[in-house]
Amino acid sequence: MTDDTAVAALVQTALQKHSRIDAALANAGVWRQGKATDATRDDLDLLMSVNVMGPVYLAKHLAPVYKKQGGGVLGITTSVAAHIGFPSHVLYCASKAAAESLVRCLATDHAGVMRVVGLCPGTIDTPMLAATCAGWDKTKEEIYADVRQRIPVRRLGEPIDIAHAAAFLLSDDAGYINGTSIVLDGGTMALPPW
């Protein structure tokens, strides 16, 4: 997703195999822990390349296809990290805020051609989430148990939760949803700070 030429080839391969593309989801993402004082140019380049430029390249190469065939949908996986100042997540939060903005900008730039929707996950049980537990005084299991109790639905999200939402947003059933993201966080952002 970080290579414009590779993304162009991906789109062309999909067209050759299926003769059209109705929907695509930019779901690749990377995370790096750290405060601004820890940030390196390499970390910034990696996060912005994958989390921001990947979706940009996909939109760049899908827009002409969608225009020619009469429309299509692009989904972009963002994160609640775009809206919450998670400690030691400065570059990740910044990259996901940029991805949130892409959803709105691409929807207006390609109005009538490409419907653009975002999936904004919260705490999802993935290897990336497990990696965020490194360095704490508690085990991953203890951290997860604590987090489950803080989420109003009392569980971590599962990848299938995101897959179900993606299937809906990319379908014709969601045809009037455009330029916005659906938050899938079990109610986390509804919580007061106390």
Q: What is the pLDDT of residues 14-27, one digit of tens each?
A: 999 999 999 999 99
* Distance between CA atoms of residues 48 and 50, nearest Å: 6
Q: To the nearest whole number, what is the mean pLDDT of the chain?
A: 95
Look at residues 48, 98, 59, 61 and name the one whose alpha carbon lies nearest to residue 78.
98
Q: Are 80 and 98 in contact (CB under 8 A)?
A: no
What's the confidence (pLDDT) of residue 41? Answer: 96
Span of 1-5, 9-13, 113-117, 126-130 with lowest mean pLDDT: 126-130
* Distance between CA atoms of residues 18 and 160, nearest Å: 25
Q: Are 29 and 80 in contact (CB under 8 A)?
A: no
Contacts 24+ apart (CB under 8 A), 29-37: 29/77, 29/79, 29/128, 31/89, 31/92, 31/128, 31/131, 31/132, 32/91, 32/92, 33/88, 33/89, 33/92, 33/132, 34/88, 34/89, 34/90, 34/91, 35/87, 35/88, 35/90, 36/90
Active site residues: 92
* Phi, then psi, of 116 in degrees rounded to 5: -125, 130
Structural domains present in the chain: 4-186 (3.40.50.720)
Q: Which residues pair with 75 in a beta bridge?
A: 25, 117
Q: Is the pLDDT of residue 79 over 90?
A: yes
What's the confidence (pLDDT) of residue 86? Answer: 85
Q: Which residues pair with 116 in a beta bridge?
A: 74
Q: Is the pLDDT of residue 119 over 80?
A: yes
Split at pLDDT 50, 70, 90, the class of 2 is: very high
* Distance between CA atoms of residues 182 and 138, nearest Å: 32
Q: Is the pLDDT of residue 194 over 70?
A: no
- pTM tops 0.95, yes or no: no
Share of the chain above pLDDT 90, in %: 87
Greatest pairwise CA separation for the chain in angstroms: 55
Q: Which residues contact 15 (CB under 8 A, 6 or more apart)?
A: 21, 65
What's the confidence (pLDDT) of residue 161? Answer: 98
Which ranges in the chain belong to alpha helices (H)? 4-18, 41-48, 54-69, 90-109, 127-131, 140-150, 159-169
* Strands 180-184, 23-26: pairing kind: unpaired
| 139-186: pLDDT as tens digits | 999 999 999 999 999 999 999 999 999 999 999 999 999 999 999 999
